[in-house]
Amino acid sequence: MKRRERTRQLIELGGLVAKAGLPELTDDDRAVILGLMIEGAATLRGEHRQQALTLWRRRGKRAFEHSPDD
């Protein structure tokens, strides 16, 4: 059962990468996409963590509200 849950989580996370348009914006350059995520993680480890979470959560919620379900 845990394996199925993990698989579902990975598929959903990949869907978020696609929904954000990252494959198109980076010409599907996986190193660039990983670099973006590493940069985001570094921001979350920094002193502006709460501000970043608030901003990104707001943007994410708007994107979910204004995009069709895929």
Pair 70, 15: CB distance under 8 Å: yes
Residue 45 sits in which domain range? 1-66
Q: How many residues does the chain have?
A: 70
User: Which pLDDT band holds residue 69 (cuts at 50, 70, 90)?
Assistant: low
Which residues, at least 6 apart from 20, have a Cβ–Cβ distance to it below 8 Å?
63
Per-residue pLDDT tens digits for 10-51: 999 999 999 999 999 999 999 999 999 999 999 999 999 999
User: Which pLDDT band holds residue 1 (cuts at 50, 70, 90)?
Assistant: confident
User: Which pLDDT band holds residue 70 (cuts at 50, 70, 90)?
Assistant: low
The predicted pLDDT at position 68 comes to 74
Please count the structural domains in the chain. 1
Give the CB-side neighbour count of residue 32, counting CA atoms within 13 A: 9
